[in-house]
Amino acid sequence: MNTTETIKEEQTFTMPRIGDKAPEFKAVTTQGGINYPSDYKGKWSILFSHPADFTPVCTSEFMTFAHLEEKFEKANCSLIGLSIDGLYSHIAWLRTIKDKIEFNGMKNIEVKFPLIEDISMEVAKKYGMIQPGESKTQAVRAVFFVDPNEIVRAIIYYPLSLGRNFDELYRALIAMQTADKFNVATPADWNPGDDVIVSPAGSCGVAEERMSSTEGLDCKDWFFCTKKLDKDLVLDSILKK
């Protein structure tokens, strides 16, 4: 393999890392042109890819995301979809979803968030959505959470055959916003109203103080302290009224 081929192969696998600035791109979508991520500065966004239009798993996912779009918007988060299909295919598929498809009690679902045309695979490659071991011609089910400062905060990847868990995508969004707002961490399976984790003590003195503290901390040991965080306080600080 020559140098040019090696570079091209490496670019196929390249993807942003957590903490990186989200790679910039301009694109045509079903809702007009977008300039990402700058058009979404000041908001959270979820950029997600799907393998192809007119496929059943993708159809179930788009219906679910469209059904939940208002819920994500209330959490200051916009949705942006992508596949390597063309714009007219996107439009025809979304019209078919609205006119003909019923899933999990949902029907007449109109997808209002933008779906990116990416025939050249430029955006998909820039975000590492093309995984040659899975498919060289379809994007896997990638999910990028980008914060209001245009920083990638979380990345979740699914294979072509596995539909995403949308409750988990929403939970992850709320958990990250909670961590930012209250300077805490969230334990396994956390949901709003559950106890949160306080950052580990940075010195022996602080560790000793925590173990003897009566100020709302529940310390199992010096490094494992939790505290209560009211569900209403969390949601009121995040969700738009």
Q: How far is CA 210 from the centre of its chain?
A: 35
**Residue 141 annotated as binding site:** yes
Could you give the strand order of the β-sheet that contains 217-221, starting from the edge strand earlier in sequence? 196-198, 224-227, 217-221
- 204 labelled catalytic: no
Q: Which of 58, 77, 219, 225 is catalytic?
A: 58
Sort strands 32-36 and 196-198 into parallel, antiparallel or unpaired: unpaired
Q: How far apart are CA 185 and CA 230, in angstroms?
A: 15
**SS3 at position 99:** helix
45 CB contacts (<8 Å, ≥6 apart)? 36, 37, 77, 78, 79, 80, 145, 146
- Classify burial at 205, counting beta carbons within 10 Å of its beta carbon; exposed 0-12, middle 13-18, buried 19 or more: exposed
Q: How far apart are CA 24 and CA 172, in angstroms?
A: 23
Active site residues: 58
Residues forming the annotated binding site?
A: 141
Residues belonging to the binding site for substrate are 141
